[in-house]
Amino acid sequence: MIMWNELGLSGGTAIIILIALYFVIKWAVKNGIKEAYSAITGKKTDEDVRNEKELKELGFELEDK
């Protein structure tokens, strides 16, 4: 904890930062895996289909890749 004190952070703040960092990295890896899967297989995920449907309802037209 000496390193955190040198940066001006208390122990509780350091733990909160580490927990937030964990969830950000977890989210990024999850989205990266989904994107790689759809790129490799050419299949759309349920989330992609849902997003396209919502955009179409809002009046946006999507270009096919």
Token pair recorded at residue 15: 């733990």
pLDDT of residue 27: 95
d(CA 58, CA 64): 18
Question: Are 38 and 45 in contact, with CB atoms under 8 Å apart?
Answer: yes
pTM: 0.58
Measure the CA angle with vertex 50, ends 25 and 65; round to 5°: 85
7-64 pLDDT tens trace: 787 888 888 989 999 999 999 999 898 888 888 888 777 777 888 888 888 887 766 5
